[in-house]
């Protein structure tokens, strides 16, 4: 069984087109077989990492290619990172970082660090490619993030490994 990403709709947020995607499929067994060395082979395709900040990481097999831009924010109540001013329209999203990203605290700020050393801290603006996924998608249902991040919207923003500071 494989994970299929199907285009659901296109929405315009400010000047940035945002691809809205719905995940469908019967499971994640193809993903489970392809874990990275730091990830147990039977771990879910999307999982939590860290405590404060607590982030989501993914290893989805097909990259999403909509532009993602915004400012990294931090929700103290939920100890979670968020994308603020997503697409320049003031929207908020919960980032789902590509496998290889880890949560960090530096200079008394929450953030992330990639394997290549890139660091993003709250307040930093960034760009990447990715896409929006509804929280009700099967592959995300086990997360139960509604009780975790108080700024949690109805969707996650899946981010590929091409993140750059802007």
What mean pLDDT value characterizes the chain?
75
> Does pLDDT of 61 surpass 50?
yes
Is the CA virtual torsion 34, 139, 57, 89 positive or negative? positive
pLDDT at site 124: 97
How far apart CA 164 and CA 166 sit, in angstroms, is 6
pLDDT at site 8: 32
Cβ-in-10-Å burial (0-12, 13-18, 19+) of 67 comes to middle
Task: Taking residues 77-85, report their average pLDDT.
Answer: 89
**What are all long-range contacts of 140-146, with beta carbons under 8 Å and residues at least 24 apart?**
140/23, 140/46, 142/44, 143/46, 143/48, 143/56, 145/56, 145/94
Q: Please tell me the pTM assigned to this model.
A: 0.73
123 near 112, Cβ under 8 Å? no
Looking at the chain, the whole-number percentage of residues with pLDDT higher than 90 is 43
pLDDT at site 89: 72
pLDDT at site 6: 36
pLDDT at site 13: 37
70 near 124, Cβ under 8 Å? no
pLDDT at site 3: 38
pLDDT at site 41: 59
Looking at the chain, the whole-number percentage of residues with pLDDT higher than 70 is 68
> Does pLDDT of 42 surpass 50?
yes
């Amino acid at each position: 069984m494989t994970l299929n990403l199907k285009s659901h709709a296109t929405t315009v947020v400010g000047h940035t087109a945002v691809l809205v995607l719905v995940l469908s499929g019967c499971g994640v067994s193809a993903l489970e077989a392809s874990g990275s060395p730091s990830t147990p082979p039977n771990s879910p395709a999307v999982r939590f990492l860290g405590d404060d900040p607590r982030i989501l990481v993914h290893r989805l097999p097909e990259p999403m290619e909509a532009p993602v831009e915004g400012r990294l924010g931090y929700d103290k109540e939920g100890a979670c990172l968020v994308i603020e001013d997503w697409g320049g329209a003031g929207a908020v999203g919960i980032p789902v970082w590509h496998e290889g990203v880890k949560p960090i605290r530096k200079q008394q700020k929450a953030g992330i660090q990639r394997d290549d050393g890139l660091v993003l801290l709250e307040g930093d603006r960034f760009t990447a490619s990715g896409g929006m996924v509804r929280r009700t998608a099967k592959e995300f249902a086990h997360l139960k993030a509604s009780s975790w991040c108080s700024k949690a919207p109805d969707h996650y923003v899946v981010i590929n490994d091409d993140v750059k500071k802007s």
